[in-house]
Structure 1
């Protein structure tokens, strides 16, 4: 069987071009995981090694949880899988359509109307206009924005923008779903509705990669789990065994 996702010796590093500003190094390290090193061969350039020599195969039907401390490299790996970051070395192979719920609101144009943003977001995700038209009623009903969908997004409140972004992101049914934590959207009244929609999407995903700090969520939605530490894979296997391996690292 051909894997949905295959990573071969994938490494990701980020150069820091102002190494004297240590605060920036600390923030970057905490954001992407891995190790900071000084590379004398590159003119003293400082780099953050976010992922190191990652080899991984995820097959159709696999539902993989990512486990690790903050800064272990989970978000960097998700960004690589979704196309947000390119490997510094190694190869990434993806077979199938991907939808990622990593940063709500990314790609939303404040000058476009809600309906225009639905169209452009769908086109960006590789959908045809016919496919986009078929999901518009679902998005409109779920986000509950009514006539505001005819208005520019810059006229929305922050909560309204999040609801539109969440409705768009969860309306499609991709081959591969990439999620960083189980996110909600909007105010308290809307949060329960968003949680139910997210859980339904997770349960129906064919191939899933989900980062979470919740063991209950991992047990509910995942069949395998991967433990990351300082940008390296420490364990990949059954969920309970992965949780035990992670706890042993603490």
Structure 2
């Protein structure tokens, strides 16, 4: 079976000063492609495949390339070397409140965001009630988005993205905000999507969540892939290296 995500020799280089990534001009300059003293590899020579329906958990300390890898799979960042091939569409539960417009109402933001992710007007019409009901913010549907609390913003954003029919779900600990009850509701929604055959790519520091959702793990350290294996083995090695 062909993988839905194929990562080969992946490398991403950042610059420690001047804002991180090299400039757009640098990308087309042979002189700038050489390593500079202030460059470092956030990811280097990372290779793995993901099969349809797999649940992958990505672990590692802060600053080891986890979120960068997720952004590469999402297509919002380009590698400096190697390749990332994603065979199907993705539902990105990463920085999910990004793209929402403060001065628009919740209603208008739902139509805007869902539309940008490929849903038709008729599909949004059909699912609008479910989106608002899941987010539990029916009294605020015509309120400007900027007046919502941070927790309410995460609720409506998750509710919209979880309605997408894309076969790959990307999650980057976006549910750290919000009350425990709603977080559990979101987790049950993710489980429903997985039962429907979706593929999960999940970045988290929460060992309990990783064991709950994932069967396979990727352990990143110093920009490299240390271990690709069963999630229990990956967590055992990570905890042995850095403590639980």
Q: Compute the TM-score of the two structures, normalised by the length of structure 2.
A: 0.84
Whether the aligned pair in 1 keeps the contact of 2:94 and 2:174 (CA below 8 Å) is no
1:160 to 152, 155, 158: 152
What does 1:85-104 correspond to in 2, within 5 Å? 85-104=77-96
Cα distance between partner residues in 1 of 2:79 and 2:63: 18
Cα distance between partner residues in 1 of 2:10 and 2:118: 26
Aligned residue for 1:183, secondary structure, equals helix
Deviation at 1:45, TM superposition (A): 5.5
Aligned to 1:196: 185
Whether the aligned pair in 2 keeps the contact of 1:182 and 1:212 (CA below 8 Å) is no
Aligned to 1:4: 4
Deviation track 1:58-115 (CA, whole Å, cap 9, x = no partner) reads: 0101111111122221111111111221111111111112011121311101122211
- Stretch of structure 1 that moved more, 8-17 or 101-110: 8-17
Change in Cα spacing, 1:161 to 1:216, as seen in structure 2 (3 Å) is closer
Aligned to 2:218: 226
Change in Cα spacing, 1:41 to 1:70, as seen in structure 2 (3 Å) is closer
Q: Give yes or no for the alignment of 1:66 onto 2:55.
A: no
1:48 to 40, 44, 56: 40
Change in Cα spacing, 1:203 to 1:116, as seen in structure 2 (3 Å) is same
What does 1:67-146 correspond to in 2, within 5 Å? 67-146=59-138
Point out where structure 1 has 5 or more consecutive residues left out of the alignment. 19-23, 29-38
Point out where structure 2 has 5 or more consecutive residues left out of the alignment. 22-30
Change in Cα spacing, 1:182 to 1:42, as seen in structure 2 (3 Å) is closer
Deviation at 1:14, TM superposition (A): 1.6
Deviation at 1:215, TM superposition (A): 2.6
Aligned residue for 2:45, secondary structure, equals strand
Cα distance between partner residues in 2 of 1:16 and 1:210: 27
Deviation at 1:17, TM superposition (A): 4.8
Deviation at 1:40, TM superposition (A): 9.7
Whether the aligned pair in 2 keeps the contact of 1:111 and 1:153 (CA below 8 Å) is yes
Q: Compute the TM-score of the two structures, normalised by the length of structure 1.
A: 0.82
* Segments of 4+ moved more than 4 angstroms: 39-45
Give the length in aligned residue pairs: 230
Cα distance between partner residues in 1 of 2:228 and 2:127: 36
Task: Give the RMSD, CA atoms, in angstroms.
Answer: 2.5
